[in-house]
Amino acid sequence: MKLYELTIVEAHALLKQKKISSEELTRSVLERINALDDKIGAFITVADEIALAMARQADSMIAQGMETPLTGIPIAIKDLICTQGLRTTCASRILENFIPPYDAFVIKQLKKAGAVIVGKTNMDEFAMGSSTENSGIQITHNPWDFNCIPGGSSGGSAAAVAADMCFGALGSDTGGSVRQPASHCGVVGLKPTYGRVSRFGLVAYGSSLDQIGPITKNAADCALLMNGIAGYDPQDSTSSPTPIPDDYSVISGEGLTGVKLGIPREYQATEGIDASVSQAIRKAIGVLETLGAQCVDISLPLTRHAVSAYYVIAPCEASSNLARYDGVKYGFRDTNQTGLAEMQRSTRSLGFGDEVQRRIILGTYALSAGYYDAYYKKASQVRTLVIEDFKKAFEKCDVIIAPVAPTPACPIGLMTHDPLQMYLGDIFTLSANLAGIPGMSTPCGFSDKGMPIGLQILSNHFNETAIFKVAHNFQQATDFHLKKPQLDID
């Protein structure tokens, strides 16, 4: 086995035993990126020198017996998480040369743990999209089929993990943007409870929806990376002081006897769901039942309204958050304009891509005088009802089982001219963001064309432990997470 093929758990064991060094591990990943990324396009910025310097520091920590489970482990970062001294573009022309003067909370946590940052990954511009085709920098290709999307908006992070170009990655999930690309790329992706991971230093899209989450090769690695980034942060007013359990020790315990799986009847009746997805989910539920879990019929009646509510709330918050990009304080500025209003108008027209402009316009309209009550207020009321739906459901079950996406990864270009179809691709994921509950995608099968399919596991607020337990036991009984895309250099 090549070094870059190791999991975080395996690499940590070898590092601790001093059988390998972090510098060797990091060089293997950087060589992998150099060999593959011109075909995949997962990275916007590769931080070779920074990564090797961090690897040497990690080796020093290990030599002194100060290692943590993440010490010396190469990690990739979605390019909307601020990294001091390392370019952060949000895959947008308007921030193409922005270098943050500070680190996000999660980056501070990773540095404290001794992790190695190998680069910044591609994404849909300002996280607005479900395919990573809306990047203002480049298109990312799915490692399983270069003609297909990797999902979005954290497509670069998911593709990098799937292609062994890092051991884990951070993404952000506003409506499914960690779980959906994880599903399309055959890796594990977790959206934590809102407030479990600080958003300080995360460039905002929808502030009440955004959550940073880990993408890894398996559930055990995901628990380790989650433990490394979670925690209370006084710099984030929405950060929760709820204690963090040692999730990794929990998931290595007993099976699923007594665990109740909620099966939403609405998700089974959704139009447009691919037959291969339905079949993979049914088989996955069967596996969980053989492990001792019990299925419970539940109802989430507001599911059919969730997409409408989300695509009012998210653009409204985006309209407010992106107003700061005006060409005055930082970022791109159209210097051909002399008047302030003309400069701001031209800067935003040239600096933002079509999808970002579309959502800003939608949000500004919905927040305007005369329309606020009809749109934003009504959507917020629906959101409250969605939260109540989940509360009632979790009175009957421990976790909820659902698809991640209605279809496997589609060909590049299929949805670029049909934004509505792209929005409907989030139908199974965005309810969790509206409710603030945690959710994970774990590989559970493949389509007829060999593309990965993900199983979504949802739990109640701050109960990520239940998700890790179910996912880990499922992975112990199956080998879907062990499958790798066949790449030319393998």
What does the pLDDT look like over 399-416, one tens digit per residue?
999 999 999 999 999 877
What is the mean predicted confidence (pLDDT) over 111-125? 98
3-class SS letters over the chain: CCHHHCCHHHHHHHHHCCCCCHHHHHHHHHHHHHHHHHHHCCEEEECHHHHHHHHHHHHHHHHCCCCCCCCCCEEEEECCECECCECCCCCCHHHCCCCCCCCCHHHHHHHHHCCEEEEEECCCHHHCCCCCCCCCCCCCCECCECCECCCCCCHHHHHHHHCCCCCEEEEECCCCCCHHHHHHHCCEEEECCCCCCCCCCECCCCCCCCCEEEEECCHHHHHHHHHHHCCCCCCCCCCCCCCCCCHHHHHCCCCCCCCEEEEEHHHHCCCCCCHHHHHHHHHHHHHHHHCCCEEEEECCCCHHHHHHHHHHHHHHHHHHHHHHCCCCCCCCCCCCCCCHHHHHHHHHHHHCCHHHHHHHHHHHHHHCCCCCHHHHHHHHHHHHHHHHHHHHHCCCCCEEEEECCCCCCCECCCCCCCHHHHHHCCCCCHHHHHHCCCEEEEEEEECCCCCEEEEEEEECCCCHHHHHHHHHHHHHHCCHHHCCCCCCCC
- Structural domain contains residue 8: yes
**CATH code of the domain in which 124 resides:** 3.90.1300.10
Catalytic residue among 21, 131, 153, 172: 153
Predicted model pTM: 0.97
The pLDDT assigned to 484 comes to 96
* 187 occurs within a structural domain: yes
Average pLDDT over residues 217-222: 96
Active-site pick, 172, 177, 441, 447: 177
Q: Are strands 43-46 and 168-172 parallel, antiparallel or unpaired?
A: unpaired
Q: What is the Cα 310 distance to its own chain's centre?
A: 17
Average pLDDT, the chain: 94
Tell me which residue range forms the domain holding 125: 3-257
Residue 395 lies in a domain: no
| Confidence class for position 272, pLDDT limits 50, 70, 90 | confident
CA distance 22 to 8: 12
Least confident residue range of 328-342, 345-359, 470-484: 328-342
Q: What is d(CA 131, CA 148) in angstroms, rounded to the nearest whole number? A: 9
Average pLDDT over every residue of 181-198: 98
The answer as to whether 341 is a domain residue is: no
* 153 preceded by a cis bond (ω within 30 of 0): yes
pLDDT per residue as tens digits for the range 121-131:
999 999 999 99
Query: Are 185 and 158 spatial neighbours (Cβ–Cβ below 8 Å)?
Result: yes
Structure tokens at 380: 């917020």
Identify the pLDDT of residue 269. 66
Dist CA 401 CA 381 (whole Å)? 25
For tokens 């680190």, name the residue: 103
Residue type, 200: F
Cα separation, 224 vs 7, whole angstroms: 11
From the list 78, 191, 217, 469, the catalytic residue is 78
Q: Is residue 253 part of a domain?
A: yes
CB 52 within 8 A of CB 100: no
Known active-site residue 2: no
Check: CB of residue 121 under 8 Å from CB of residue 58.
Answer: no
pLDDT band at 489 (very low <50, low <70, confident <90, very high): low
What share of the chain in percent tops pLDDT 70? 97
C-alpha–C-alpha distance, residues 274 and 447, integer Å: 9
Domain count for the chain = 1
Would you say residue 445 lies in a domain? no
Structure tokens given for 13: 């064991």
Query: Is residue 100 assigned to a domain?
Result: yes
Q: According to the model, what pLDDT value does residue 267 have? A: 83
Whether 208 is catalytic is: no
Q: Is 177 a catalytic residue?
A: yes
Instruction: List the beta bridge partners of residue 297.
Output: 263
Q: Tell me the pLDDT tens digit for each residue of 353-389.
A: 999 999 999 999 999 988 888 899 999 999 999 999 9
Question: 202 in a domain, yes or no?
Answer: yes
pLDDT value at residue 247 = 58
Indicate the pLDDT class of residue 437, thresholds 50, 70 and 90. Answer: very high
The per-residue pLDDT for 43 is 98
For 227-259, what is each residue's pLDDT tens digit?
999 999 999 999 999 998 875 555 655 789 999
